[in-house]
A and B are shown apart, each in its own frame.
Chain A
Amino acid sequence: MKSLCLAFIVLSLSACTTSVKPWERGTLAKPEMQWVSDPADFALGNHIYFSKEGSTGGALVVGGGCGCN
């Protein structure tokens, strides 16, 4: 199932994207364009959400056991 999803995504993307050369990626390299622009703030926010909400995961940051229930 995951393989099918991945194949679908790859095919979809290949149909609607253009190749961007390495020297054209200045904007993509800006700090504000990163997936996570402030890792410490992101990690703390996710720790709070995972300890206060009933679902977690997909946040993609390592964290430790919770200190607040």
Chain B
Amino acid sequence: MKKSKQNNQTALAALTASAMALPAFQTQAATAPTENVVSYRSSNYSEDNVPASSVATGSTDRYDIDIQQLSLLAPVGKNFSLKFDALTEKLSGASPLGTQQGPDGKPQLVMSGASGTGIKEDRDDYSAHGTYYGDGYSTGLTYGQSTENDYKATYYGVDWEVEFNNKNTAFQIAVSQSDDKLSPTDAVLYGRVQSAEKETQSISIGLSQVISKTKIIQFGLSATEDSGYLSDPYKTSDLRPSTRNRVTATTRYRSFSNSSNAAMHLDYRYYSDDWEVTSHTLGFAWHQNMGSSFVLIPSLRYYTQTEASFYEPYQTAGNTNPYYSSDYRLSPYGAISAGLKFVHSFQHFSYTASIERYESSGDYSFDKVAVEHPGLVNFTRITIGFDVKF
């Protein structure tokens, strides 16, 4: 639901990314849950404003989003479980529409919100996941829909896990697909595509291995193909290839220290695609138990990526590449985020509060960045919530 016709450059987005990721390998064993679990989270995501010196026209505001999440996990008999997830987002603010060369030769942002009223957008995401637990294996099915007034994604997948080697080793495989439909607002008025479609297909495999009584590791590989309309209709002069092939390699490691009564999480992901974007993501978290009912979790995440082959800081007359985008998400940069989370549990109830601060910059990139995009995002995310088991 949008407030402004002039500023309908919405939220369609994530057109540089898949509308889905992959079904989960979230547990270390194919074991059926024995309790119902209801979880609720309320989050606020707030992006820093853009400095006025970086904006050629439009608003200096960025997005502010309120998110509510509710999930229910229910065992059904001894061998089945069902999980339902609901998420709703209310978004307001402004977004970069493009760039232009500034007086000093550096790029400046053309932002939405020039008329003083910003974007308002809602998104609802509902999904269901059913799992059958056999003797040493599990099989799951996922179906979900994400709906905005100008974007609808329907996603589904199947995942399978089998344990062997005296249940010290587990192999996982997952296949998933998303069918997305775009219907940009004010398409005729602004010369945007009126409707378009996009498909995403993924396959992933994983292998987890118990190393000792206190250590476990997992390796994963995935391949994903996007096809269809992959440009962003709300950005000026944005034209991208109609396919994108992506691969990732991941490693996750968990280690428990009895002397510290704490668990260490280390995650790494390598990413590469045929748009020539390569990225590295490194995550660290320390789950410190304090007594029997409190947990404090500090975390750090580092991210660095290269630019897409057709990315330019701003459009120039001499550009002969048939494709072009000045989307900051396709620019070279790095990002660092730090988080702190608190969990208090008693009996069948627990509540949680967390904060994350995310900052991105050309200076944080692993490689030297000649021209930093002025639209790189800095944000703060605050979450509170509770879980009830019964």
Question: Which A residues lie at the B interface, using CB under 8 A?
Answer: 2, 5-6, 9-10, 13-14, 16-22, 24-25, 27-30, 32-41, 43-46, 48-69
Contact = CB atoms under 8 A, between A and B. Distances in A.
B305 interface: yes
B26 A60 contact: yes
Nearest to A56: B17
Contacts of B239: none
Contacts of A14: 165
A9 to B, nearest CB: 5
A16 B211 CA distance: 8
A53 B312 CA distance: 16
A30, A40, A59 pick with most chain B CB within 10 angstroms: A40
Interface in B237-256: 246-250, 252, 254, 256
A27 B39 contact: no
Given A34-B26, A61-B24, A69 B11 contact: yes
A9 B155 CA distance: 31
Contact of A41 (B11, B41, B232, B379): B41
B282 interface: no
A67 B263 CA distance: 34
Contacts, number: 263
Interface stretch (B50-58, B103-111, B139-147): B139-147
Contacts of A48: 45, 379, 381
The 9 closest A-B pairs by CB, nearest first: A64-B146, A69-B13, A66-B14, A67-B123, A58-B248, A65-B153, A32-B287, A64-B125, A32-B263
B369 interface: no
A37 B287 contact: yes
Name the prevailing secondary structure of the A interface residues. Answer: loop
Interface in B202-224: 202, 204-214, 216-222, 224
B383 to A, nearest CB: 6
Contacts of B232: 69
A69 B111 CA distance: 12
A46 B19 CA distance: 12
Contact of A59 (B11, B21, B142, B247): B21
Interface stretch (B185-193, B269-277, B313-321): B269-277
B180 A65 contact: yes
B212 A20 contact: yes
Nearest to A57: B248
Given A32-B289, A64-B125, A58 B271 contact: yes
Nearest to B216: A28
Given A17-B211, A66-B14, A67-B123, A54 B277 contact: yes
B377 interface: yes
B388 interface: no
